[in-house]
A and B are shown apart, each in its own frame.
Chain A
């Protein structure tokens, strides 16, 4: 069965080449259930170091699954093939999915990107755009009902996707 994992790293999280994350990071990883994996994260493009307002890029440092060596929180959801396809399509071409690829550390960051992907995959039916800082999103991710995609209390109603 395909899965999506939402990942959150905190400020100071070490990276695979000896750096440390400035403010933390949030990204998602997809698995097709047959061993194929891919992750998607959004950040300023590399030629704009330290700039909170800059052209953005997906996976600017390659796979975030390997770039960030310590995660503060992860949650994995079983998803349908349709949900998998929707989130993969969004990650591979976010502008086609209606996402502005200009990075704004305050209002269009890795957090907005991940929540938008969850929305595409039916796991954020309210269109929530995220809290300002990565770690502040942990409680919100915990509240996602994997069946309805709502951020409210769990329901037994099965969602159509």
Chain B
């Protein structure tokens, strides 16, 4: 007689096969709608502009902007060293960072590219972000997020402090859509509006 655990295992196997086949058959349609390029190498050891590039948005969705600080996966010593530099995401009773780590203030501007080469600023952020997330080989600091409609944009990131502490750490600027969420455009800004006179 099948118990609940066996039933769950069978269900997982079935759904795994189904979803895997779904992903293979329509991979580009379902999963490949992130912006391009989505990752740019940056050098935070010098102050001033560290990234200025055009990117293509393929899906009307919220796009997140962040910085990542990389280490070799499973290198626990290097991971611990970087984590100590970057602090943590904990906040104190006043809502301020409890363990802020080194300061990495940046200015980010996103421009929509309109007809005739005209650019319109659609997003601007001035922030000294704290550690927010981490994966198998990186730590991340979130800069902000904004809903973007399909089209061509330009990102300009300016580093406000030369962070020499990061000299041996590969650092990137990332643009990505959030995972595991649904987004209904509704009454949000249409693509044409940023470029409308």
Decide yes or no whether A82 CB sits under 8 A from chain B. Answer: no
Decide yes or no whether B181 CB sits under 8 A from chain A. Answer: yes
Instruction: Please state if B181 and A44 are interface contacts (CB–CB under 8 Å).
Output: no
Instruction: Report the minimum CB–CB distance from A15 to chain B (whole Å).
Output: 6
Instruction: Report the minimum CB–CB distance from B78 to chain A (whole Å).
Output: 12
Instruction: Report the minimum CB–CB distance from B90 to chain A (whole Å).
Output: 4
Interface string of A96-137 (1 = CB under 8 A from B): 100001101111000000000000000000000000100000
Question: Which of B15-23, B45-53, B104-112, B113-121 is found at the contact surface with chain A?
Answer: B15-23
Bin chain B's interface residue count: 35 or more
A57 CB contacts on chain B under 8 angstroms:
133-135, 140
A104 CB contacts on chain B under 8 angstroms:
16
A52 CB contacts on chain B under 8 angstroms:
19
Tell me whether A15 and B181 are in contact in the complex, defined as CB-CB below 8 angstroms, given that A37-B91, A46-B176, A51-B31 are known contacts: yes
CA–CA, A45 and B92, complex, Å: 26
Tell me whether A58 and B135 are in contact in the complex, defined as CB-CB below 8 angstroms, given that A46-B64, A52-B19 are known contacts: yes
B98 CB contacts on chain A under 8 angstroms:
36, 38
Set B61, B133, B147, B180: member contacting A62, Cβ < 8 A: B133
CA–CA, A142 and B170, complex, Å: 44
Question: Which of A19-27, A73-81, A146-154 is found at the contact surface with chain B?
Answer: A19-27
Instruction: Please state if B145 and A48 are interface contacts (CB–CB under 8 Å).
Output: no
Tally A residues with Cβ within 8 Å of B.
47
CA–CA, A104 and B13, complex, Å: 12
Interface string of A1-19 (1 = CB under 8 A from B): 0000000000010010111
Instruction: Please state if B179 and A19 are interface contacts (CB–CB under 8 Å).
Output: no
CA–CA, A34 and B133, complex, Å: 23
CA–CA, A19 and B8, complex, Å: 30
Interface string of B169-183 (1 = CB under 8 A from A): 000001011111111
Instruction: Please state if A63 and B89 are interface contacts (CB–CB under 8 Å).
Output: yes
Q: A36-B93, A104-B16 are in contact. List 16 more A-B contacts (CB 8 A).
A: A15-B178, A18-B183, A37-B91, A38-B89, A46-B64, A46-B179, A50-B31, A53-B23, A54-B179, A55-B136, A56-B135, A60-B178, A93-B76, A95-B136, A101-B136, A132-B11
Give chain B's interface residues, CB within 8 Å of chain A.
Answer: 8, 11-12, 15-16, 19-20, 23, 30-31, 33-34, 38, 61-62, 64, 66, 74, 76, 79, 83, 88-94, 98, 132-136, 140, 142, 145, 147, 174, 176-184, 188
